[in-house]
Every structure is written in structure tokens, then in C-alpha cells.
Amino acid sequence: MADDPNDATPFLPERRSLKALREAAQGCRGCHLWRPATQTVFGEGRRSSRLMLVGEQPGDREDLAGKPFVGPAGRELDRGLEAAGIERRDAYLTNVVKHFKFEQRGKRRIHQTPRRFEIHACTPWLEAELEVVKPEALVLLGAVAAKALLGSSFKVTQHRGELLDSELAPIVSATIHPSAILRQRDDAARVREREAFAADLRVVVEALGAV
């Protein structure tokens, strides 16, 4: 791994369209994470999307399907979007890191949080997605995405659901990653977190309505 590069930049295509980016990302070898993973999981959605949501990295299901947010966390995201009054197909969904990082334990692949150098290596893809889509609203899902784009001192727990001052997009906000709902200890806590997540998304949807 010491010989692996830590930068996706050389793999970015000259032509900046979502199709060209998605195709080029399939061949990215910008860090070591591509080796054990099944495939690159690039962002999904239309260039004209007004809302972009950015998570941490694909999970087990996403790695197999090649699509973001199709596993259990994706279902929570769908519920949150629906409760906030926005359709999934109207949003652009992506992750900070495009390959699944995991530890193999028996037959199970256990999610591992990407490290800073891996996030740094993969950021050029996200920057290119932002450049092409130019969303009016950007929502960062979870601490990894929020810290990657807003700085390492940003705390989701303190600032979730706030409209933030950032040059990334006219409307920028952060909330939990939907997988955090699944990790709650009981049903009551899950319901509370689900409602809080939807409320955070609603703030952004309402701000979009006001643009």
C-alpha cells in the first residue's frame, strides 16, 4: 500500500459531464481502496438536481449494486426525504469516498471509517460533481462528510439542521448519516432520530422553496 498514490486527480476526465466522470471513476486507482472493493460507486442523479446529499462511503449493498444509498441506510434516507417532501429522484446522491472500505470478518464485510488520506485522495471526484451539478442546496450526511467539506473542527451534533455559511452552495446544511438511525438502541429512539432527521432535511427543503 505504501506505493499506492493518494490522489484521484490523474484519473479525472477532461470532459466534465456526469457521464464522463462516472465512466472514468470506474477506473480510478487514486488510492488503495479499489483493491478489495467490487466497484466504484459514483454519485447518482440528474445534473439539474437542486439538492445534493453527500454521505460517507458506499456500504456492503452499495458496493455490490454499484449505486449509492440502496441498503438499509438508503431506505432511511428515502423515508427522511419523503417526510421532508422531496422525491429521491429529484436529488443527487453521492459519497465523499467512492469505494467501500471494510474489514473482512468471516463472511461478513464490516464497514470501516475512511481515514483522512483516503478522503483526501477521493475528494477530486466530489469536487467535480459539485462543479457539474452546482446544487442550490447541499446536505452533508454524517461527521465524515461534514468534516471533509467544512473542516475537521465541525461538529454535526452541535450544528445539525442549521443553515450554514459556506461557499460550497447557496444553501448548506449538515445532519446525521441515516445509518445512525439504525444504530439507535431501541424502537423509541429510532423513531425520535427518524423524526429529527426528517426535520433537518425539511429545513433545507423549505430554504430551497424560498430561493
Amino acid symbol at 41: V
Contacting range for ligand SF4; rule: CB under 6 A; set: 25-33, 104-112, 159-167, 176-184: 25-33
Alpha-carbon gap, residue 31 to 33, rounded angstroms: 6
CA 77 vs CA 10, 18, 47, 129: distances in Å:
32, 22, 20, 20
- Residues in the interface with ligand SF4 (CB under 6 A) total 15
Question: Interface residues for ligand SF4 in 117-156 (CB under 6 A)?
Answer: 121-122, 125
Alpha-carbon gap, residue 170 to 80, rounded angstroms: 22
The pairs formed by 181-187 with CB atoms below 8 angstroms and a separation of 24 or more are: 181/73, 181/76, 182/72, 182/73, 182/76
Does 29 contact ligand SF4 by CB under 6 A?
A: yes
Question: Interface residues for ligand SF4 in 91-110 (CB under 6 A)?
Answer: 97-99
Candidate list 12, 18, 24, 28; residue touching ligand SF4; CB under 6 A: 28
State the minimum distance, in angstroms, from the CB of residue 119 to ligand SF4.
9
State the minimum distance, in angstroms, from the CB of residue 130 to ligand SF4.
15
State the minimum distance, in angstroms, from the CB of residue 35 to ligand SF4.
8
Pick the closest to residue 115 from 52, 176, 56 (CA basis).
56
Compute how many other C-beta atoms are within 10 angstroms of the C-beta atom of residue 105.
Answer: 8
Does 171 contact ligand SF4 by CB under 6 A?
A: no
Q: Which residues here bind ligand SF4, judged by CB under 6 A?
A: 8, 25, 28-31, 33-34, 40, 97-99, 121-122, 125
